Structure 1
């Protein structure tokens, strides 16, 4: 397996799209997410905004995720919007949703938190799949 044929512009664009989707997701569901965590906004955001290091970590993680998704889409040979969405959904269902479910159950976290977090990653992966499928893996 080689990663030499990956379209790195598509990877960067997909990571940016995924990050933007995440910002929108938590802008809408942030208060419910905080409540499900059992924390206060002040505890999580003492300065009123997310720490820069946390945001940078998130973006780097999404770059890696987009790179892996592009590699998978390219190697499977389904570099189209529909192919990107399908592969993204398979990755989410097989790896992301399952690990979120297990980790949240062991942590005895509310199921509402599992739905919010797993839904976020589904939206991120689908956005990435669309971008990678459109631009080309």
Structure 2
């Protein structure tokens, strides 16, 4: 059952990312400098590699979070929410901020991508504790 819960939590994090970046698409495209095609959409939107990478990454994060949750006794939705939020906000987002700051990336990109990391981990934490 643990593999299924990890897969479901990873898919939930991936779906959250799809919604997050759909809502913030124009701001993200402007901040990230992603190459655009003639219609104004990302030039690589039909390339499956970023989507596959994102899904696999979310599943890997969910797997590690499940491992940490089991070792720490995190077994309720409330604890999963708070722990996921903390992992995203205090572990993942600071790394993103560090990389982007040294790379002279816009602060808005730090907020967009850091927000996804924070709330995506929260979603994964909730889903992991539901199963």
Match for residue 30 of structure 1 among 25, 29, 35: 25
Sort the Cα spacing of 1:116 and 1:50 in 2 relative to 1 into closer, same or farther, 3 A. farther
For the pair 1:72 / 2:89, whether they are aligned, the reply is no
Segments of 4+ in structure 1 off by > 3 A? Answer: none
Larger RCO (CA under 8 A, 6+ residues apart): 1
Segments of structure 2 that go 5 or more residues without pairing to the other structure are: none
Structure 1 residue aligned with 2:120: 124
Q: Distance in 2 between matches of 1:62 and 1:74?
A: 18
How does the TM-score come out when normalised to structure 2?
A: 0.90
Segments of structure 1 that go 5 or more residues without pairing to the other structure are: 1-5
Equivalences for residues 36-115 of structure 1 within 5 A:
36-42=31-37, 45-46=42-43, 49-115=45-111
Residues 83-119 of structure 1: CA deviation (Å, up to 9, x unaligned): 1112112212231111011111101111001000000
RMSD: 1.7
SS at match of 1:41: coil
Structure 2 residue aligned with 1:3: none
How does the TM-score come out when normalised to structure 1?
A: 0.87
Provide the aligned length of Structure 1 versus Structure 2: 129
SS at match of 2:24: helix
